[in-house]
Structure 1
Amino acid sequence: MERQTSEEVQKNITRVKASITIARLLALQGVAFRGHDETEESSNRGNFIEFLQLLADHNEEIGRVALDKAPPYAKYISHEIQKQILHVLAKKVRNHIFEEVGNYKYSIIVDEASDESSHEQMAIVLRFVDANGLIQERFFDIVHVENTTSKTLYTAIRSILSFYKFPIQNLRGQGYDGASNMRGEWNGLQALFLKDSPQAYYVHCMAHRLQLSLVAAAKEVYWVHEFFRNLSFIITAVTGSCKRQDQLEAAEAAKIAIQLAAGEIETGKGANQVSTLQRPCDTRWSSHLRSISNLIKLYGSTCKVLENITKDGCSSNAKWDATSALERMKSFDFIFILFLMKEILSTTDILSQALQRKSQDIFNAMILVESTKKLLNEFRDKEWDSLLAKVVGFCKQYDIEVPDLSAPFFRGRSIRKRDVTNEHHYHYDVFNAAIDVQMTELGSRFNDRVVELLKLSSSLNPRDGFKTFDIDAICKLAREYYPLDFSDDDIDTLKFQLKMFQVNIPNYPSLEKLSSIADLCKELASTRLGKEYSLIDRLIRLLLTLPVSTATGERAFSAMKIVKNRLRNKMNDDFLADSLVIFIERMIAKNFRLDDILSDFVDLKERRVLFK
């Protein structure tokens, strides 16, 4: 009896190990576990069972005990077993993140969105600086919330932090979008957390601020708003079917072939690739610029496809849509704003891309904002003539009528008539207005108390041999913005450390080559100077903890949507959340030993007893 019991236990362990291996593989790859029909008669029983069958076919030990060789009460392949394995994996990931954060100060980055089942989900990301001085952002959890009021979100986030034993007093930053329930000064989510931790400064996502500036330009200026509406209509009309996509690619390939034969363009590896049109999306960074750039590049081919649809369209609606789209494309108004927005978005795209980098530090972010405003202002004052020349030249190339710029402007009944010329309209009502809205939005959205904190932090920037190093400004930063982390005695000691650090900079050549506060933090950690200048190191880490540079919440939900599209089967929120944690933190999960996971799986309280 003892031998039989021992053999049965070993078989159970083998089955559980096989199930854990398959579950971990599928979670890391972000693919669906279950099949539509998992009965034995089905030709495709889903990824989990099919992978387990493959493993059993190539491993004799597993093949002797798994699937049909296992007793009905101990197969360990049920949906409940799969969920519990994922719970164990997710628990290990979260415990690893907790150990990484330790006693360091951290920030929370939160965003919410509805999933495919129309349930409101909230993603939580933790940002901190680790022992090596590196900025880390860890996707931590997805929580279902009944509504998106500030109190509901606050309660949910607070319960998560408490459950996983993250001290609320160590919270030093909050990163949300600009919705009123998030940024409200009195009852917003950021205000509720400020009552618990007065130094948990709210930073509206920098990349999101910029995106709101671009969207505001489209909405505030009527002509720009109308342009983007027409742009979406045109792209939809051309890319509405695979057949039209093929026609567009064929037309572009034929054009490239003609240009190559005429010697107008050069050949080379990666050159002359056939691209396609892309729909603009307000929440997808740089999508507007790509849409506009691709349309300019494919303008001739797009017109040709629309002309073909007007002649040979399969339905009247398709013909009318193509006719309307072609008419809008061949108007001077559309071409003018097409080139105008390309210049504006190209100018702001560098800032948009930089603000999305996780390693972008606060000082460089503010420099880029000011540089972008300066470039926009120079474009407004000096580039009108060059832009107009580009537009006129493009119109002549494609036989588009150019209006007499000295003639009176007239545009239908919906727009109030004024005694202005066409040149005045395009120059002041469109060109200047679009740029002015951008400038105003950039100025207003990057001008608050937190931005003042970021500006003060520039005194710690090591660029150009610590050119901006200012001891008084650094002490003011610590005293006014982090009074809980720096006592009066600490401020005095900090001032002494800063003086000593400034004197010793020439003795450390590696410090003079640094270009950002993030680099300085890594250098202090690697050279162990952080121990000698402990208060300087503490202040730098607090600054880097602020979520100033990234739309992590949006990125988290982008990842969530990718996985959701692959996990198209019925599952509860816990199953989805645990799968996501494993999927996003895959590099951490890969280091977990199978035996550790097995031991936790066996010890689950809610699990029925597996072994005697």
Structure 2
Amino acid sequence: MVIILSFVNNHGILTERFFAIKSVSDTTSLNLKKDISNVLVHYDIQVKKIRGQGYGGASNMCGEWNGLQALFLRDCPYAYYVHCFAHRLQLTLVSAAKDVSVIWEFFSHLDNIVNIVTSSTKRIAELHTAQEMKLSICWKLENVILEVEPIRLSDDICKLEMNFYPEDFTDQDVVALENELVHYKLDVMQNLKVSTLVELCQQLTDSGRSKVYVMLNRLIHLVLTLHVSTVTTKRDFSAMKHVKTALRNKMKDDFLADCLTLYIERYLTKDIDVDSILDKFYVLKSRRAQLL
């Protein structure tokens, strides 16, 4: 079982981090909840502060009454569960392909097309060039649409705050949000060009407006923490085959978690001084072999 934390960092960027991996023999929802809670408590993370959860489509995970998400909702009614949109899309495509022969033939040929393209670096480069051209055209069209039809704000934002996140906003905060939205229409919508909520959050932080629109920025952070996809979890779990190889397939959970952290979050280890780590190992005890 892989645990991923999703949060908005200090730069206003939506971030997903590999947090822990734990082997479980009992996959019932009660046992999974116990194991996840133990990991969170160990790192002093309170369950009542969870604002979103996402799992696969198994019944022990997404069951409405006794699933893992339902058990966490009992402890924290604001830990909203969203079924992975990538999994929903996959189920839709499979169902559609079974009923329509043309779609079935399309996906049958698609495998051959992918194999042909990926077998040649020249074809891959041509594909990237074509994608960049299409993206540039879409970006221009998107900017035109945003200029013609800017995002319209309404009382729905305040209703979202009061109905879904009453634990995070007081009555005074609701009034403050209403005042912020008035200035937002005159300021942000005219000066910032954004197309997604992620871009809005980042630009509010970069421009310093997050300190002006405090309540709105908090609400955006809460909405972004909704786990709408489990792709990162599946990708990190797949990384285990690169770490737990045939030569080291007997490692325990703690050592495996440390190795996975270094592999998955390897860009965070660029500033680590390897020589200082070797020196610490030398100091611990005398060794017969020299450390590389």
Q: Smaller-chain TM-score range?
A: 0.7 to 0.9
Partner of 1:471: 154
Which SS does the other structure have where 1:202 is aligned?
coil
1:575 partnered with 2:255: yes
Once the two structures are TM-superposed, the CA of residue 157 in structure 1 deviates from its matched residue by 0.7
- Conservation of the 8 A alpha-carbon contact between 2:83 and 2:229: no
- Conservation of the 8 A alpha-carbon contact between 1:173 and 1:546: yes
Identical pairs, percent: 46
**One-letter code aligned to 2:256:** L
Which of 264, 267, 285 lines up with 1:610 in the alignment? 285
520-529 vs 585-594, greater mean Cα deviation: 585-594
Once the two structures are TM-superposed, the CA of residue 573 in structure 1 deviates from its matched residue by 3.1
Distance in 2 (alpha carbons) for counterparts of 1:142 and 1:477: 34
- Conservation of the 8 A alpha-carbon contact between 2:201 and 2:220: yes
- Residues 35-434 of structure 1 correspond to what in structure 2 (within 5 A)? 122-218=1-97, 221=99, 290-291=110-111, 293=113
1:480 partnered with 2:163: yes
**One-letter code aligned to 2:77:** P
- Conservation of the 8 A alpha-carbon contact between 2:54 and 2:229: no
Structure 1 gaps, min length 5: 1-121, 232-285, 298-461, 604-608
- Conservation of the 8 A alpha-carbon contact between 2:56 and 2:230: no
Gap change, CA 1:489 and 1:586, over 3 Å in 2:
same
Once the two structures are TM-superposed, the CA of residue 198 in structure 1 deviates from its matched residue by 1.3
- Conservation of the 8 A alpha-carbon contact between 1:497 and 1:536: yes
Once the two structures are TM-superposed, the CA of residue 204 in structure 1 deviates from its matched residue by 1.1
Once the two structures are TM-superposed, the CA of residue 576 in structure 1 deviates from its matched residue by 2.3
Gap change, CA 1:497 and 1:601, over 3 Å in 2:
farther
**One-letter code aligned to 1:187:** N
- Conservation of the 8 A alpha-carbon contact between 2:56 and 2:83: yes
Distance in 2 (alpha carbons) for counterparts of 1:600 and 1:287: 55
Distance in 1 (alpha carbons) for counterparts of 2:46 and 2:72: 13
Q: Deviations over 1:185-208 (max 9, x none)?
A: 121111111122211111111111
The CA RMSD over aligned residues, in Å, is 3.3
**One-letter code aligned to 1:291:** D
Partner of 1:541: 221
Distance in 2 (alpha carbons) for counterparts of 1:288 and 1:482: 46
1:517 partnered with 2:192: no
Once the two structures are TM-superposed, the CA of residue 559 in structure 1 deviates from its matched residue by 1.3
Which SS does the other structure have where 1:140 is aligned?
strand
TM-score (norm 1): 0.39
Gap change, CA 1:218 and 1:504, over 3 Å in 2:
closer
- Conservation of the 8 A alpha-carbon contact between 1:139 and 1:585: yes
**One-letter code aligned to 2:72:** F
Once the two structures are TM-superposed, the CA of residue 290 in structure 1 deviates from its matched residue by 2.8
**One-letter code aligned to 2:266:** R
- Conservation of the 8 A alpha-carbon contact between 2:14 and 2:224: yes
- Conservation of the 8 A alpha-carbon contact between 1:464 and 1:515: no
Distance in 2 (alpha carbons) for counterparts of 1:129 and 1:536: 14
Name which one, 1 or 2, has greater alpha-carbon Rg.
Answer: 1
Distance in 2 (alpha carbons) for counterparts of 1:579 and 1:287: 37
Q: Deviations over 1:502-547 (max 9, x none)?
A: 12236x52x1x21111111111101111011100000111111112
Q: Deviations over 1:31-90 (max 9, x none)?
A: xxxxxxxxxxxxxxxxxxxxxxxxxxxxxxxxxxxxxxxxxxxxxxxxxxxxxxxxxxxx
Distance in 1 (alpha carbons) for counterparts of 2:152 and 2:107: 39
**One-letter code aligned to 2:83:** H
Gap change, CA 1:294 and 1:584, over 3 Å in 2:
closer
1:563 partnered with 2:246: no
- Residues 590-601 of structure 1 correspond to what in structure 2 (within 5 A)? 590-594=270-274, 597=277
Distance in 2 (alpha carbons) for counterparts of 1:150 and 1:530: 39
**One-letter code aligned to 1:610:** K
Which SS does the other structure have where 2:22 is aligned?
strand
- Conservation of the 8 A alpha-carbon contact between 2:55 and 2:84: yes
Distance in 2 (alpha carbons) for counterparts of 1:566 and 1:517: 44
Gap change, CA 1:176 and 1:602, over 3 Å in 2:
farther
Once the two structures are TM-superposed, the CA of residue 289 in structure 1 deviates from its matched residue by 6.3
Partner of 1:262: none
- Conservation of the 8 A alpha-carbon contact between 1:171 and 1:200: yes
Gap change, CA 1:294 and 1:142, over 3 Å in 2:
closer
Once the two structures are TM-superposed, the CA of residue 572 in structure 1 deviates from its matched residue by 2.7
More relative contact order, 1 or 2 (CA 8 Å, 6+ apart)? 2
Distance in 2 (alpha carbons) for counterparts of 1:156 and 1:519: 35
- Conservation of the 8 A alpha-carbon contact between 2:55 and 2:230: no
Which SS does the other structure have where 2:52 is aligned?
strand
Gap change, CA 1:166 and 1:602, over 3 Å in 2:
farther
**One-letter code aligned to 1:480:** N
Q: Deviations over 1:349-394 (max 9, x none)?
A: xxxxxxxxxxxxxxxxxxxxxxxxxxxxxxxxxxxxxxxxxxxxxx
